[in-house]
Every structure is written in structure tokens, then in C-alpha cells.
Structure 1
Amino acid sequence: MSLPVNIKELINGRTVEWERIEFKKGWNPESVLHSICAFANDFNNWGGGYIILGIEEKDGLPVLPPTGLESGYIDRIQKELHSLCNLLYPAYFPVVEPLYLQERHILIIWVPGGQNRPYKAPISLGKKKEYAYYIRRFSKTVKARGDDEKELLSMTASIPFDDRINHNASINDLNLTLIKAHLKELGSDLLLEADTISFADLCRRMNIAEGPDEYLRPKNAGLLFFNDEPHRFFKGAQIDVVEFRDEVGDSFTERIFTGPLRQQIVSVLAYLKNNILAETVRKVPDMAEAIRFFNYPYQAIEESLVNAVYHKSYEIAEPVEIRITPDRIEILSYPGPLPPLNKDNLMDESISSRRYRNRIIGDFLKELRLTEGRNTGFRKIRKALRTNGSPEPVFKTDEERSYFLTVLKIHPEAQVEAQVEAQVETKIALNENQIMILSECAKKSLSKKEIAEMLGHSNVSGSIKRSMAELIKHGLLDYTIPEKPRSRFQKYRTTSLGRKIIE
């Protein structure tokens, strides 16, 4: 039974964090049962985890090639595993896939977060059956004790919204074409089986549907990713991009992006990249390489947007909103962060969250390489901004954690250029000669005489001098020898601002 992930990338920790993967050299039924219990409890809403038998672990990493399991042992382990999972209370059964990797047999046990947590398991498989709750603490399976046990018990029947069954939809609301495209992008072997198994079985294996055959229903995450119009089921499942032309907000344009979540993210990022992001290249005297920076670094925008889509609540009928003003980009989503994050510690670089709102959405976004491991979002945003020379980001929420706001400020030099460009556009209306001068001097530097000849004049007339002086005054044209304006070797070149004006 193929899993809906790329197995090689899974084993190498590229699509799932190491904390969610447990490698075991051999078959230890008691230890495996405890880890199944812990992953099923999904204490942090991470999406469960994977237990891989036949691969040894060293310092938290897999030792390859695999040690492997005896081929005749695989079937016995699966039968024993089925009996063991009946000992869990309530009973829970993971998904198991035998695999042949690097000429060795291994067994992968996929344990999605359970629908009926909390689960408990026998402490020992001996005759005396004492039970305990197990959770994951970093990369270890441990007993839930004290406050952790109380918190786990408080989660009784509390399933993340994206993992819940949607009783207002049918299995036919899931789009097979979108599912296949997703599996193809991941490189999952499940794609090879998609046309040979029933659609219901495919959706169950993808963990996007649940229930008996007579009442099989899609999960909310399945509708968000594999329905063409998820906003029909979730009113806030869209991204609104609002561009303000001034600080007052009287002049603005609005664009609404709908469709499957992946499509929304990709479409919005493409729009911002093509219409908002701009690179400045500045040559510095006596330096071989030019200075380059963007008004906003793409990586910071991408991570901020994906974080908003990942962590918003789809129970709330509010979209993710991107507000673009002349000096900043704001990304707003609802509600705010989960504890321990709050309005007082949100800007603390050492703070991190261990709890997540959407466990299946998070898995899909990581598999699609749209986000990386948990607790990396803020760090990636800060790193991208610092590398670009941009101001630090601002993260905001209120006392009730009712919203989450990310503010990305424009690069200070890009802001100055934008302001100058706006002033120039309002102060100067270029005549035909000035446009030709800027166009030709953008290709190569020209002397006054060459400019006159290019314009069809036999000498440098007074009108040409006035046109050039006005261009220089407004920073659109510059000297090649600025320290000697009257040099007989003087030529003229179009500035970066001048290039923008004529583009």
C-alpha cells in the first residue's frame, strides 16, 4: 500500500521534521506501540508521524544503507502490529507500507493524528496491563505526566478543524485531477496506483476522507486543497490583495484570489513578484560589483504569506488580506497565534510555538516545499530582510489573540527612489527630444554633439541644452565625468531613475 509522500525525501527528512520520524533497527513491539500511541495523540497538532523499521538511527539521523528486515519477517510483523493496535484505548490502526530500499526490506508505519484522542497504551506487554498516555517530546516518546497529561485530557474529541470530516460535502467534491497533480509533484508512488484503486480508497490513503463506504465524507483539508472552489465551503478561504496608491487610502485597487490553497499561494506570489517587487542595481565607483537590493525580498514575502495561509482558522469567514502601501506590505490573518505566543513576546527572537492550528494543511505545504520545518518562519523572514538590508519585520497581535499581522517595511533606499520618481513624474512632462535623449543614453554614453546629431541637428541648439539641463536637474541624466562638468571629454548617461521613467 503506497503512501502519499515521496519515500526517499521522507527518509532524508526533507518533507517531514526529524522529530516526527522514528527509526528503529529492528522490531520492538512494546516500543513501537508506545510511539504509535504518542503520534496518534499528536500533542502539538504536528500531524502525527512515521516509524521506520529496518533503518538504524545515529544522533537522530538514519544510517544508510538500511540494516533491513528479513523478507519473511515482514508479514509476521504486520499481523502482530494489528493485534497490538487493538490494545490501544481507544483502538487505533496506522497505515503500513513494506518497501524495498537499497536492496533491503524496510517497513514504514504512518501514524496520522487520531480522531479520538487521547489514546493510551499498555506500559508493558506482560500479563499485568497498566495503561499510560504517551506523547512526543522533541524526538522522544515519553509518558504524559502532570500538566502535559492534563492538557492532553483537555483535548478529548478536540480535532483540528482541517482534519475534521465535512458533513456538508460529499466525496465527489474532491477533484481527482487535482489529487493526481499533487501526487505527481511530490513524486509519490501512490500516483501509479491512482487508476487501479477505487477513488474512495485513494482518498482514504491521502488522509483527506474518512468514514464507512455508505457515509464516506471528505475532510476539510481535502476540500481546501482538492476542490476548485473551496470558498463555497469556507467563506474565508481566499486571499485579498489591496493596493493603496497613497497614505490616506482614498485611491486603491483590490484583487481577490480564490481556488485550491496551493493555487492561491502560487498565484498571489506570482502577482507580487511581477507587479510589486523591484530590484535596484547601483554601480559604485572603484568597485567591481554593483550593489543590488529589492524593495522587498521575495523570500520574506513568501514565508509571511504561507505562514498566514497555514495558521489562519478556516472556521472564521475572514480572508487572508495583503495590504500594500507606498512604504510597506502588511499581511493580516485571523485569529492570532496560539500560546505561548502573545502580544508581549511576539517580537522576541528566542520564543517559538509548539502548538499548531492546522496539521494536515501544514503537511501538504511542507510536501509541496512551500514551507519548511516548524518554528522556522520568523527566522526565515528576519534572515531574508537582513540579507537584503531591509528594516526588521514587525509582528503584531492583541490581548485576545484575535488577529495576526506581519509588517514588512520597504527598503529605505527603494523608498527614497520611489518618492523621487513620484515627484519627478508630477513635476516634469518629458518632451519628445528628452525621451529620445534618455532612450539613446540608456544604450551608451553620448557627448552633446552626438546627442545633437542623433536628434537631427547640425549643432547643439539652445533647446537641446535646455532639455538636457532639465533632465540633469531632475536626476534623469548624469555626467560620465561629474567632477569636471566642462571637460571636453564629457559624455552623458541615463540614470537608473531615468531608465524607470522611460520603461
Structure 2
Amino acid sequence: MNKKYMLFISSVQTEFANERKSLLDYINTDVLLGSFFIPFIFEEIPANTASVQEVYVKQVMQSDIYIGLIGEQYGYEDEQGISPTEREYDIAKSKYIPRWMYIKQSKQRHPKVNAFINKIEKEISRKMFVDLPSLKEAVYQSCILFLKQKGKITSHDFDNSVQPDLNVSAIDAALVKDFVRQARAKRRFPLKETASVFEVLSHLRLLKENKIVNSALLVFTKNPQDYFPAAVISCAHFHGIVPQKPIPDFKVFAGTVFQMADDAVDFILSKLSLSSGTRDTNNIVETRYEIPRAVIAEAIINAVAHRDYYSKASVQVSVFKNRIEISNPGKLPPELGVEDLKIPHSSYPHNPLLAECMFLYGAIERFGTGMLDIFNKTKELGLKTPDIELKEGFKLILWRPSAFTVHDTVHDTVHDTVHDVSYLEFEHITHRLIWVMDNAMSRTEIMNRLELRNRAYFMENYLEPALMQGLIVMTIPDKPQSKYQKYTLTQKGLELKKQLKSEK
């Protein structure tokens, strides 16, 4: 017998009397929803001697899901100035009851309603509605998603849906071999590099009746965008703190999930300030970005792994003077709120098959720790706590050191002085390469110093421009492709580096 989940429907009763009763009837009479859910509204309670507050507190605590409808009115306020709807919301939160919030579009709201909405948006995802039909549709979608996640109905999510016209011939064997090599090194993957494409995909559960599932295309085809045009990362750089045209730098990165993630990380790093240290203990100057590469990479991987690939929107990255915004068309699972991401929590991947591949490849370190690592690492460095917005999809905001208040800046200046670290902004991307070079260095050594991963991006944006500008030269110019090839600063490059040091 199916377990039935109790839905507690909350709102200002006078404002949404019709919607509450309609939702109750809709869920009770729907063949599917009625089999799994029992809706509850306060109007259904018979008269008794218990206080109103005692009744709704008891009902919320006994519920499996809290549904809140928000409109223009805040409603009756208790002695603490809190409405029943917000009080019920807080109780559900304290008991870790999933909260589904639906906000009716309106131009005028009570000030406390606006404050309540701001509170909601900082904690969980919410949906907008304009009328009763759109509210019913939104609630229906939430119910279906909940039942899929509970395994009560068959899931046809993007992650494991098949491509009926494609088989293993669409997969790039070289990408599979590279994946196996990486997975064996990172996670002791049991299959060998000699394993066939069919064997690897079968082991990863990326085949259904010999047909490949969507996640296989994202991982093992060179151009997944042929099948999913929106599976890209759009990156923009702005000099100020608001989006303004003309945009100084805009790029769209495609390819496999690993390639476009590396490209996006390298793009962001090229816009961040670098640190310089002393040579008191080492002849090599340590390179450090104002926001660590690990934090940037974690944020990008999170967006790629957990986005909604059915959406026509892309992952979007915006680098501003004071912050980095990383948005994806996805949402938090109903089991988690924003505050849950700041403490140890279970993992609820939106695309579990894709997430497993990214874990085996080493892009994801551990399940359920990505966002927690971001909060912990930024705190350790004294950076402003990242913000999360759930208005449209999932947006993570990483604050750059320039976002600090005057007090914080003074504190950090002292902190940096003690550690002999200062951050430098570079007008041209090639100046970064010049800054980190010491003696003759190989391409790999320079990339490692800059913490870059994508060879093509490095060659196009760093190495080749520096060569063309006469800032560096090859040590073996007659054999450009030699595995022993290194690069060294020219006189022009040395003079530029001296100038950069003087401007430090």
C-alpha cells in the first residue's frame, strides 16, 4: 500500500480562500496525486476547545510537506508581530519539513510580505503564479518531482533518458579511454584502458537496451551541443559592478562537461588579481589568486553537474569588479534549504549519472561537500560569505576582496602584510604570464604556476600572444613541437617584468 504524504496548505485565509479549497479538491480528485497525498487546510478542522495556534502548530509538525501561498496581505500578527503563515513556515523549517512556496505576482504588497519573501528566497527555491490554473500546474510539478525523488513513480529525467536513434557508435572512443585513465588514477576505477566503449558505458549505467542515455553524450562526445544546444557556459567580464555594454570580454564555452568547466574556470582566473610573495625562503614566487582556484572550480562544477539540462538557458558566469556570479537553470532539492548548504548535508544530485562520472573523473571530490567547501574556504581566507539567490534558478555570488567594507579592508591589509601577500591587477592577460615566469619554463610549468587546466585556452590567450608580442621566445625555435620545448623571457619581457614590479 502506498504511503500517503500529508500536505499542509498555508496562506492568509481571506486572501486565498478560493485557492486553498481548489487545491484541496484538485489533489483529492486527481487520480495520481490523490493516491500519494492528503492535503490539509485549516478550514477543514471541526470546532474544538484547543487554541487556533495549538491546532496549526500540531498539524504542521505532523505534515510531510508544507505548502505556502504568498500574496499581498501579511495577515493577523501575534504578540511578536509574526503572522500564522510565517510562523508555520518557521516551524516547518525547524523540523526539516520540505517547504514549497508559491508567490502570486503583484505590484503592491504589505512591507512584511516583502520581508518574508526576501527571507524565503535566501533559504529555498520558490515559484511564481498568476492565477489558479498556473498555481495548480506549479503544485502538480512539485508533487511529481517529489514522487520521482522518492522512487514512487518512474523517472524520465534528462539524466537517464535514452536517445532512441543513437547507440555506442556516437561515442568518442578516445574520450572514453581518457576517462578510464583518469578514473583509474583518481578513484581506482576497476576497468582497464583496453575496455571497450560498450563495457565502460555499461559499467557506468549509461546504456539502456543498448541505447545511450543523455549523460553519456555530455561526457563522451566532443560536441554535446549538437544534441543539447543550451549545454554551454556563457562567460562575461564587466569592469564595473553592474552589467553594461559594450561588454569588455564575452565567450561561450562548449565541448564536454569537463572541457567547458575547465575553460570557464580559466576565463575567471584570467580576470582575477594575482598575489606576489617574497623570495626569502624560495627563489620561486608563489602564485595565488584573490579567490582560490579550488573555490572557482567547485562553483563551476556544481553549476554544470546540478543544472536542469531540459532548460533552454545556459550556465552563466559574470565577473564584476566586486564579485563573481555563477547562475544555472537548476534549483535546490526539496530536502535542502540554503542554510543546509553551509553545514554537512546529504547529497541529492539533480543528475546522478552525470555526477557519478564527474566524481570518478576527479572533478567532484566528494558527494555533498562542494558548497560546504566553498563556504569553509572563503571563511578561512577572510573573504565575505558567498550569497545564494534562488529567484531564477540557482545563483552563487562569490565576493572579491574589493567587496569588503572599510573596516574589513583595513583588517585584511594588516593580515596580508603579516603574510607578505599583495594582490596585483594586470591590464593585459599576457602580463600574468610574464609575472610568473622564472628562467626557462615549459608550457606545463607555466600553466601549473597560473593554475590553468585547458591547454588550448592557455595557448590562445597567454602563450601565443606573448610570443607574437616578442615578450618570450622558444628555447628550441627550430622544433616548436619538441617535448623538451621551453620558453624564456626576451629583453623586452624582462623590461616589462621590471616595470610590473616597480608598479607593485
TM normalised by structure 1 equals 0.47
TM normalised by structure 2 equals 0.47
Q: Which has the higher helix share?
A: 2
Q: Which has the higher strand share?
A: 1
